[in-house]
Structure 1
Amino acid sequence: MSDSCCADACGTGDALNDKRWRRILWIALILNAAMFFVEMGAGVQADSRALQADALDFFGDAFNYAISLGVAGMALAWRSRAALFKGATILLFGLWVLGSALWAFFSGTTPVAETMGIVGTLALLVNVGVALMLFRYRTGDANMRSVWICSRNDAISNVAVLAAALGVAQTGSAWPDLGVAAIMAGLAITGGIQIIRQARSELQSVKKSGIAVGEAR
């Protein structure tokens, strides 16, 4: 299945310029930007660090989709550079989540489980829908793969948020919320490393081939 998808769409100039790929990115951009405001507002109201962290993840993904739209169809070297930048932002997001979890640990507040569950379900539906749209592009170049990794990690994070909501409701403790924050940080760091590694590999291939940056395809 993945081989046939790659033959049709992954990592080629035609794929990066096709209307379907760009349309999916625009849909993902709009949905992620909207969910940032929804989830951040709910996270602040419910005092949930997991929801707030997930909201910032939506914001970061919307920014990443915008970058992808800007470099789609450009030379491989430029797409790989954009992927490097995205990988770095994902790593920074992971570090931010770790710091936020530590702050929440010392603040000692307990989030509202009901709000976490409702908003977490909405976020999961959005991310699963986007991930399904992007599934065929998961084995493309570093830029395409980075978009897929973001959506995949987001869906996993949403399941963790729902589990945390159940844990908070059952225990009345903030520990499940903090645990989700740690999981999301791990996913962000791992995804960022994967993206950076592939992007650097592609840039090295361009240099070895002797093709000037900005002309490689």
Structure 2
Amino acid sequence: MADACCTPPPLNLDRNRGNPAYRRVLWVVLGINAAMFLAEVVAGLAAGSASLQADALDFLGDAGNYVISLFVVGMALRYRASAALAKGATMGAFGLWVIAMAIWHAAQGTLPSALTMGAIGVIALAANAASFGLLWAYRNGDANMRSAWICTRNDVLGNLAVLLAALGVFGTGTGWPDVIVASCMAGLALQGAFVVVRQSAGELKAQPA
């Protein structure tokens, strides 16, 4: 997690203002995330999987984040940093929600469908890997750009974790691997939220009054 311990080099952040290529990329990843949210929310409920439901909520949150990014990409750095701050807070709220969901599934002793988790996990991984590749060039931009990339990075890691959870559920015959992975996804969201909030707050502080 280099984002949590390394400070990015100084950047000419306003060079990215109104970047048309970045806008096109955001439209593509927005479509990917909206479609995957619809697929995973249905599959997660059908499978009784906390990690799939967490991933579905993550897709929804990311779609909302990309909408915000599209709205502010042509604005001054102050507004882009403010939007990133709001997105960081949203990522943190998502992490807390997933923790609550994992606790509920643990208390209920839910046994999810490992087959459904694995199949949807593979599809979601392919979708997020494509988004990750598209956003790679913008990973060191301003807080608004960086938050979009961090969201997608977290998604790729989350998808891999869902696949591990599916194997764990299949191998143990219990729902604990699913609950553990959902909790780890929540921790990843909270870590990403901290990185985004820290950078966006720094950018806002650096702006003239």
Which category of TM-score, normalised to the shorter sequence, fits these structures?
over 0.9
Cα drift, residue 91 of structure 1: 0.2
Q: Secondary structure at the match of 1:12?
A: helix
The two structures have a TM-score, normalised by structure 1, of: 0.90
Alignment of 1:47-126 (within 5 A): 47-126=48-127
How far did residue 11 of structure 1 move?
2.8
CA distance in 2, matches of 1:205, 1:166: 47
Unaligned runs of 5+ in 1: 1-5, 213-217
Shift of 1:10: 7.3
Runs of 4 or more, structure 1, over 4 Å off, are none
Whether the aligned pair in 1 keeps the contact of 2:96 and 2:186 (CA below 8 Å) is: yes
The 8 Å contact of residues 10 and 139 in structure 1, kept in 2 or not, is answered as: no
- Contact 2:88–2:197, Cα closer than 8 Å, also in 1: yes
Gaps of at least 5 residues in structure 2 are 1-8
In the alignment, the residues of structure 2 paired with residue 12 and residue 130 of structure 1 have an alpha-carbon distance, to the nearest angstrom, of 24
Aligned letter for 1:72? V
The one-letter code matched in structure 1 to 2:14 is T
Deviations 1:61-83 (A, max 9, x none): 00000000000010111000000
Q: Is the Cα contact below 8 Å between 2:17 and 2:76 reproduced in 1?
A: no
CA distance in 1, matches of 2:165, 2:118: 9
User: Displacement of 1:176 after TM fit?
Assistant: 0.5
2:13: which partner in 1? Answer: 11
Q: What code does the residue aligned with 1:134 have?
A: L
Deviations 1:4-52 (A, max 9, x none): xx9xx97334x33232111110011111011001001000001111101
% identity of equivalent residues: 52
Secondary structure at 1:17's aligned position in 2? coil
Query: What is the letter of the counterpart of residue 145 of structure 2?
Result: M
Larger-Rg structure: 1
Q: What is the aligned partner in structure 2 of residue 215 from structure 1?
A: none
CA contact (8 A) 1:71 1:82 kept: yes
Output the CA distance in 1 between the equivalents of 2:89 and 2:99: 16
Whether the aligned pair in 2 keeps the contact of 1:120 and 1:162 (CA below 8 Å) is: yes
Distance in 1 (CA, whole Å) between partners of 2:13 and 2:184 is 31
Root-mean-square deviation (Å): 1.6
Q: Give the SS at the match of 2:32.
A: helix
